[in-house]
Amino acid sequence: THQGAFVQKVYLQTRDRGLLEEEYQEDYAASLAAFAIARLTNVVEKYMYSLKTEWRDIAVSGINYIAAHTINDTVINDASQLDPWMMHSIAELNKLDAVSEPMTQYTTEYFKYVTKHQLRAPDLDSVQDAEHHDMIGSMVEFGSSTVTAAMAGGLCAAFAVLEPKISNPKQILDSLESAAEFTYQTQYRPETAMYLPNPGRVFGGVHDSLTNIDLPSVTSQHAISLFLCLAQTMEIQTKKLKSSW
């Protein structure tokens, strides 16, 4: 039942050494491990012209395990099932032509959930919900740039996997653009950083949410990843459109 699983700890018993306990399964850490291995495999293949199939297979089995144990009845119905690093891992494996059916299913369900739980302008009443207008574009946890950038970054990373599976890929791009616009609001720029004691230290950073000005490094990292991925994806889509003219 644990084939392909990554674990952080192994519970040892006197009578049965090496017994694997379910509570020590850390899926988020596991997807990070799978991403690192898949990424390393891609880099080695690109620059050393050598495909490490054993590395690829480790990443594939790890992601397949997580996907099988994450999706309940083939559906993502809770935010706790979302893992952006799964999406990044699947994107790397897609470059190796190693995406399995469970991975495709996970990306599709991820897309459905985050876009369904994204605040859009039509969701707001012009008068009653006016105070929420600045939250338009945020995902899953409305108003949080950390969560939005992470979730949208994962969605963007796996765009190439999703594009052939979605009837209207533009829906993904529209969702990503909206998420990026929201996240951009929480980046310290000259007009906002100037009010802080040391503007130079925060300039360019992305704070946690609309109401929390803390600057966790992970927020800026996810935001940068989203911005770069979206720019690259839009460039590719523009070239495709021009070539079809």
Per-residue pLDDT of the chain (245 residues; tens, 9 = 90+): 456 666 555 554 544 555 555 444 454 677 888 889 999 988 988 888 777 888 888 889 888 888 887 776 678 888 888 999 999 999 999 999 999 998 999 999 999 999 999 998 776 665 456 567 888 999 999 899 999 999 999 999 999 999 998 888 899 999 999 999 999 999 998 888 888 888 888 889 999 998 888 888 999 999 999 999 999 999 998 888 788 77
pLDDT at 18: 53
Q: For residues 81 and 70, is the Cβ–Cβ distance under 8 A? A: yes
Record the pTM: 0.83
Residue pair 6/30 in contact by the 8 Å Cβ criterion: yes
Measured distance between the N- and C-terminal CA atoms of the chain, rounded to whole angstroms: 51
The string of DSSP codes covering 186-233 is: TB--HHHHTTSS-HHHHTT-B-SBSS-----HHHHHHHHHHHHHHHHH
Report pLDDT for 193. 83
Token pair in block for residue 37: 């291995």
In this prediction, residue 2 carries a pLDDT of 57
Q: What confidence score (pLDDT) does residue 106 get?
A: 93
Q: Are 211 and 132 in contact (CB under 8 A)?
A: no
Per-residue model confidence (pLDDT) at position 1: 44
Quick one: tokens of 67?
A: 């996907």
Residue 114 neighbours by CB distance under 10 Å: 26
- Backbone dihedral angles phi then psi of residue 206, each to the nearest 5 degrees: -115, 120
Length of the chain in terms of residues written: 245
